Structure 1
């Protein structure tokens, strides 16, 4: 009689443990999906920000005919904008590949690793293209001979650098949080 009770209790405990494990797995999947959705929203917000501000920036440069940038500077601006666009769309594509409901844990880890590598490479390429672009812009602005323009350019560069670093660290924190959520799946 006691042996039967122990077997029944053991089976009931095993069943409850299995249910708890399934619930825990579902909660972890929801956490990863939430992080991926949050990163997608941030990427879309940044892309929208670039799409609306880039024409305003170009219109502002074009309306001042006395300030004409060199062809090399315009080529660097175009390369930079194209690289940013490719980077953003690549990140959106790679984030869409992370799906806990359709993939095994190993595949999710590999998809996240590809995204993280793409993030690092994308940031590196953007920085490498931004340096000659900004150098060319400052060089051209120096030729214009307007000290107020140069003061504004250096101030804008300092403010832009601080904002860019803030955005980078916020995005990197999101990448790390996604990695931690996926590590919990193992």
Structure 2
């Protein structure tokens, strides 16, 4: 008698485990898809814009070099390398975002992809800062050595404005990724 009760209990537990596993492996619901896809589309536009800005900026630096006499080529090369690396990073994230298809993913897969996306973004920020500091220091030192006072003032103003815009964009991207993650977390629970 006890053996049959144990078998029945075991079968019931197996059924419950299968049910829980199938719920966790279920595709993302329509509401979550809509919330995640709208955040995804806003992020794609954001990264498209950042990629295009990073690709155009080296040409602006060349125009600055032509207007300032004695501006060294190696500083322009440093700017070029920095912005091409950043364009590659932003383009990579844009490509990853475009490949996400929440309609075909399970909740777990979508959540993992979102966490990876957030990791790529944070890594890019750290890498970008480590590249930007030497470039900016060299640029400001060169302007100082060339006695270009107004260009130096412009560089500092541009640095402050760029920091402000960068923090705003970073906060917006962080908010969109967080919205995607929360929508998926709600679906998983």
CA RMSD of aligned residues (A): 2.1
Q: Which runs of 5+ in 1 are unaligned?
A: 1-21
Per the alignment, residue 32 of structure 2 pairs with 28
Preserved CA contact (<8 Å) 2:61 2:79: no
Q: Supply the distance in 2 between the matched residues of 1:117 and 1:180 (Cα, whole angstroms).
A: 16
Per the alignment, residue 174 of structure 2 pairs with 172
Per the alignment, residue 39 of structure 1 pairs with 43
1:63-74 superposed matches below 5 A:
63-71=66-74, 73-74=75-76
After TM superposition, give the deviation of residue 46 of structure 1 in Å.
2.4
Per the alignment, residue 126 of structure 1 pairs with 128
After TM superposition, give the deviation of residue 53 of structure 1 in Å.
4.6
After TM superposition, give the deviation of residue 65 of structure 1 in Å.
4.9
Preserved CA contact (<8 Å) 2:55 2:84: no
After TM superposition, give the deviation of residue 156 of structure 1 in Å.
1.5
Preserved CA contact (<8 Å) 1:76 1:129: no
Scaled by the length of structure 2, the TM-score of the pair is: 0.77
Q: Supply the distance in 1 between the matched residues of 2:55 and 2:46 (Cα, whole angstroms).
A: 14
Q: Secondary structure at the match of 2:122?
A: helix
When residues 164 and 125 of structure 1 are mapped into structure 2, their CA distance, relative to the original with a 3 A threshold, is: same
Q: Which runs of 5+ in 2 are unaligned?
A: 1-25
Preserved CA contact (<8 Å) 2:102 2:110: yes
1:3-36 per-residue CA deviation (whole Å, 9 max, x = no partner) reads xxxxxxxxxxxxxxxxxxx9x9211112111111
Q: Supply the distance in 2 between the matched residues of 1:70 and 1:139 (Cα, whole angstroms).
A: 14
1:28-86 per-residue CA deviation (whole Å, 9 max, x = no partner) reads 1121111111111121122233444542x134223225141352x23321221122111
Q: Report the count of equivalent residues.
A: 162
When residues 117 and 106 of structure 1 are mapped into structure 2, their CA distance, relative to the original with a 3 A threshold, is: same
Preserved CA contact (<8 Å) 1:36 1:178: yes
Q: Supply the distance in 1 between the matched residues of 2:90 and 2:55 (Cα, whole angstroms).
A: 12
Per the alignment, residue 58 of structure 1 pairs with 61
